Amino acid sequence: MKTRHTLPGDIERTSMSIIAAELAERGVVLPPEHEAVVKRVIHTTADFDYANTLRFTPRAVELAQAALRRSVPIVTDTNMAKAGVSKPSLEKLGCTLHCFMADPEVAREASRRGLTRAAVSMEKAAREYPDAILAVGNAPTALLRIAELIEEGLRPALVVGVPVGFVNVEESKEILFAACEAHGVPAIAAMGRKGGSSVAAAVCNALLYAATETLDPAARGWQ
């Protein structure tokens, strides 16, 4: 079998062309403001279901890019998601990146209260970075706690709600999205069971690349 490309930039550009062609074959027309996020998630997962299951509050992408240009931090619910977010793009925008899952204080508090570390880590994020982008790819309990915090007055720049699994996953996304809609908090969620840390990172990267005008890999220095 002959390979088509070997350079990273070529591979990404060709992949995006294939994604665009297959979406067209399926009769899927993406809103222009959502296109970069949806295609990046499909590129990461090879799963075209995300063209239908990714849900956006009005102006979520626009508002998230504006927030990144103001150098808001990003907080993830897993170190895996944190590892996947583009560090050069963060540096260009002056954004910091955090995950509190391994924080000893979070672990102690979660044990004391009988909660998950993911839920308590979002409380810490709310205290330390109330205007952050909160990117959740693994823990429904994190989304549920964020929804409660929004009801209590938290106003993050964006919530990315894409946990994966079978228990409380679908419900947490619905609850989170409803809370965000009710209180004007921008949100991007993958409705249903699918998601994961790689999807959370992909959404963040699409927003970062758009905010830094580097959606084309050549603009990131890739051949």
SS3 content of the chain, % helix, strand, coil (to 5): 55, 10, 35
* SS3 category, 55: strand
Determine how many CB atoms are found less than 10 A away from the CB of residue 18. 13
Both tokens assigned to 75: 């907080």
Low-confidence ranges of the chain (pLDDT < 70): 1-5, 223
pTM over 0.85: yes
Which secondary structure element, helix H or strand E, spans residue 69, and what is its range? helix 60-69
* The domain over range 8-215 is classified in CATH as 3.30.1490.20: no
Residues marked active site are found at: 43
**CA–CA dist 156, 75 (Å, integer):** 10
**CA–CA dist 81, 138 (Å, integer):** 9
**Domain spans in the chain, listed from the N-terminal domain onward:** 8-215
